[in-house]
Amino acid sequence: MPHEDEVQRQFAGRVGIYDRRSAWILDPGLLAAIVGAYRGGRDARLLDVCCGTGAVGGAFARHVGHRVGVDLTDAMLSQARTRMDEVHQADARHLPFADASFDVVVSRQAMHFFDDPALPIREMGRVLRPGGQLILGQRVPYGEADAAWMAELNALKQPNLRTFILERHLLDAMASAGVGGVTVSDYFLWEDMHDWVASPEVPGPNRGRILEHCRSAPASVRAVHPMEIEGDDIRCRWRWMVAVGTRS
């Protein structure tokens, strides 16, 4: 089955539980960090790329004038319609909008589904007007010390993973999209790993492997990547980067 079809099948099967499946999806602090990066006016047109159920675009309700969502999966858009002013089913690598159509473009936790994340990010830059803002949110390693450990963790969790995203991947892609003056801020969020592995896309045998991967994390990883392990309870503190820049 083509990768795009697999992604649609995965998210169509999760739509009913998606918003409550992981703590990060509706976390008020993470949404506030993304909205807080915005510096435009209240009459702006916003595009949320790979919008899912529209949680990010919905958080901009009192901050912009019109919110448009794009996602590959129509079932997710059925939920996003309740939060957005307008939605479209489309591939992020081929956005159905004219150049310079939006004042701000946002996307959260989607670039790992692409073989080359620079392609959708360049499309975001194309539809962004000069002087407009691009805001990207992504869960990334703390640094080199936990990168390989997190890459294995993500591969166990997400069968449709195409790219393990590092901070430099996003920053390089933003630069290639003509977005400059980029600043990065971090937001830290604790996740219950038992809840995290209970998601439908995780292969059954991998659930136990993920938990053991946390329990057996080497000291070099634990030194930079906070974890709390008490008996069967396991919590990891994710690092979320929020990168924002301006289209030249």
Domains of the chain: 3-142+160-190+238-247 (3.40.50.150)
CA atoms within 13 A on the CB side of 155: 9
**What percent of the chain clears pLDDT 70, i.e. is strictly above it?**
92
Of the given ranges (15-29, 52-66, 118-132, 144-158), which has the lowest mean pLDDT?
Answer: 15-29
Position 10 scores a pLDDT of 52
**What percent of the chain clears pLDDT 90, i.e. is strictly above it?**
83
- CA 143 to CA 197: how far, in whole Å? 23
Q: Are strands 102-108 and 128-140 parallel, antiparallel or unpaired?
A: parallel
Structural contact between residues 88 and 96, judged by C-beta atoms closer than 8 angstroms: yes
Q: What is the pLDDT of residues 164-217, one digit of tens each?
A: 999 999 999 999 999 999 999 999 999 999 999 988 888 899 999 999 999 999
Residue 196's alpha-carbon distances to 149, 154, 162, 234, in angstroms, are 17, 11, 19, 10
Whole-model pTM over 0.85: yes
Q: Are strands 102-108 and 86-89 parallel, antiparallel or unpaired?
A: unpaired
Confidence of residue 12 (pLDDT cuts 50, 70, 90): very low
What's the burial of 238, exposed, middle or buried (CB within 10 Å: 0-12/13-18/19+)? Answer: buried
Whether the per-residue pLDDT at 157 is higher than 70: the answer is: yes
Position 6 scores a pLDDT of 66
Q: Are strands 179-192 and 233-247 parallel, antiparallel or unpaired?
A: antiparallel
Average pLDDT, the chain: 93
Of the given ranges (14-18, 47-51, 119-123, 175-179), which has the lowest mean pLDDT?
Answer: 14-18
